[in-house]
Amino acid sequence: MVSQEVGGRAFRLAVLPGDGIGPEVIAQAVKVLRAIKEIYGHRFELAYFPIGGVALQETGVPFPEETREGCVHSDAVLLGAVGAPEFDATPPPLKPETGLLELRRSLGAFANLRPAVLHEPLIEASPLRPDVVRGTDLLIVRELTGGLYFGTPRGLERDAAGQEIAINTLRYSRAEIERVARIAFQAAARRRRKVTSVDKANVLETSQLWRRVVTEVAAEFPDVELEHIYVDACAMYLVANPRRFDVILTENMFGDILSDEAAMLTGSIGMLPSASLGGRIGLYEPVHGSAPDIAGKGIANPLATIASVAMMFRYSFELFEEAAAIERAIARALERGYRTADIYRGEGHLVGTEAMGDQIVALLWEEASPA
Ligand code: NAD
């Protein structure tokens, strides 16, 4: 373990750079943390741990005990990405991605938050017409540890006639729905105060319970408006009128699909942060993977990881001003034309990973000490 102290109040951070472009984008996020520390006088203790392919190479397992210990004794976990082609053929327990699933399980992270914000300067990067997508700023809260992906019984078997059958079980308890609904309403209370709960209550009993419990939780948040819509209508509205949404709350499988649809509104996967919440410790990571095709080239977009740091300040440390400062710096870097290759459309300044990180730091300082 390499431990570093970055400067007031100490926040302990487990940093897991991981594989591929993970260490490159994490290095930029750490620069931003240092700038926030100096500008606002906080203290961050960073401890680095291996996960994924790097951990497999060093220790033989993708989520070593030392990493688990480091994470559960931190205030928040910042992850780069996991995944390395050389482990593609290895069995699941020895795959880098298994390390990430074990990490999420250790932290009890049952709610996944994915904002989809369209920055005006990137409007041409969206596949949708500018007049449709302009002003999109929504947050998907997806239930992460229940539903069809985890329900039992499950499996592949044969029936009495010898025909192959496959079984998955969609099961939700009242407690599972209540806890993720509260996270969505709390998030909405800090945003534009609207929750759209997405279900299929016209067909599924799980959705009928979901709708009833979400309505009960809503009574705890009288300032937040609640609407219920069916998942098929939601898929349609996301591309027809994304501005109608503030917070979308949904179960695991619907959230899996809708969050990728929403992500595409914003142009590049290199722009998308995420938070996984529920336990005492939040996990913050970019949505993208280890991008082996561009690893080591210094061209990866670090903004998703830097925006994940902003989410960490907002949701784990409740440092709202610091979070907003980072988000303003990202918006301004884009307004000034700075682009990594994934969002470059022939205009502005094409920059690499480090230069984009340096721009965000410079803009944080510029705002902190106006001329
Ligand atoms: P990926 O997200 O790594 O890459 C998809 C495409 O987007 C690639 O062309 C890549 O170059 C590009 N891209 C991704 N992030 C970028 C960034 N920050 N800047 C510029 N371009 C970027 O997905 P993949 O190629 O399907 O998977 C690669 C590896 O990552 C696999 O081993 C996969 O299992 C793993 N993975 C990990 C996570 C995670 O750690 N949370 C998520 C998805 C995939």
Per-residue pLDDT tens over the stretch 298-316: 999 999 999 999 999 999 9
What are the E-state strand segments in the chain? 2-6, 10-18, 43-48, 76-81, 111-117, 137-143, 155-158, 164-167, 194-199, 225-230, 247-250, 273-277, 282-286, 338-339, 349-350
Q: What are φ and ψ of residue 106, in 5° steps? A: -60, -30
Q: What is the mean pLDDT of residues 43-56?
A: 96
**Span 126-138+154-266: which CATH code?**
3.40.718.10
Q: What is the mean pLDDT of residues 101-116?
A: 93
**H or E stretch at 303:** helix 303-315
Q: What is the mean pLDDT of residues 226-250?
A: 98
Which residue has the least CA distance to atom 26 on ligand 1? 289
The answer to whether the beta carbons of residues 24 and 270 sit under 8 Å apart is: no
Which residue has the least CA distance to atom 12 on ligand 1? 291
Ligand 1 atom showing the smallest separation from residue 79 Cα:
40
pLDDT of residue 8: 55
Which residue has the least CA distance to atom 37 on ligand 1? 289
Indicate the class that CATH gives domain 1-117+268-371.
Answer: alpha beta
Ligand 1 atom showing the smallest separation from residue 22 Cα:
40
Which residues form ligand 1's pocket by a CB distance below 6 Å?
A: 21, 25, 81-83, 97, 100, 269-270, 285, 288-294, 300-301, 304, 342
Q: How far is the CA of 62 from the centre of ligand 1 (A)?
A: 18
Q: Return d(Cα 143, Cα 249) in angstroms, integer.
A: 8
pLDDT of residue 105: 85
Decide if pLDDT at 129 tops 60.
Answer: yes
Task: Identify which of 144, 288, 353 to mutate to test ligand 1's pocket (most ligand atoms within 8 A of the CB).
Answer: 288
How many other β-carbons are positioned within 10 Å of the β-carbon of residue 135? 12
pLDDT of residue 124: 84
Decide if pLDDT at 1 tops 50.
Answer: no
Which residue has the least CA distance to atom 13 on ligand 1? 291
Q: What percent of the chain is predicted at pLDDT more than 90? A: 85
**Confidence band (pLDDT; 50, 70, 90) for 371?**
low
pLDDT of residue 310: 98
Which residue has the least CA distance to atom 5 on ligand 1? 291
Greater pLDDT, 244 or 1: 244
Q: How far is the CA of 294 from the centre of ligand 1 (A)?
A: 9
Q: Please state, in angstroms and as integers, the Cα–Cα distance from residue 147 to each residue in 71, 127, 169, 234, 256, following that order.
A: 26, 31, 8, 19, 11
The predicted-structure confidence for 130-179, as pLDDT tens digits, reads as follows 999 999 999 999 999 899 988 999 999 999 999 999 999 999 999 999 99
Over the chain, what is the mean pLDDT? 94
Which residue has the least CA distance to atom 27 on ligand 1? 289
How many other β-carbons are positioned within 10 Å of the β-carbon of residue 178? 14
Q: How far is the CA of 290 from the centre of ligand 1 (A)?
A: 5
Ligand 1 atom showing the smallest separation from residue 305 Cα:
18
Q: How far is the CA of 282 from the centre of ligand 1 (A)?
A: 22
Decide if pLDDT at 2 tops 50.
Answer: no
Decide if pLDDT at 370 tops 80.
Answer: no
Stretch(es) of the chain classified as CATH 3.40.718.10: 1-117+268-371, 126-138+154-266
Active site residues: 149, 200, 232, 256, 260
Q: What are φ and ψ of residue 221, in 5° steps? A: -125, 70
Model-level pTM?
0.91
Ligand 1 atom showing the smallest separation from residue 341 Cα:
20
Q: How many CA atoms lie within 13 A of 40 on its CB side?
A: 22
Q: What percent of the chain is predicted at pLDDT more than 70? A: 97
pLDDT of residue 9: 59
The predicted-structure confidence for 246-292, as pLDDT tens digits, reads as follows 999 999 999 999 998 998 888 788 999 999 999 999 999 999 999 99
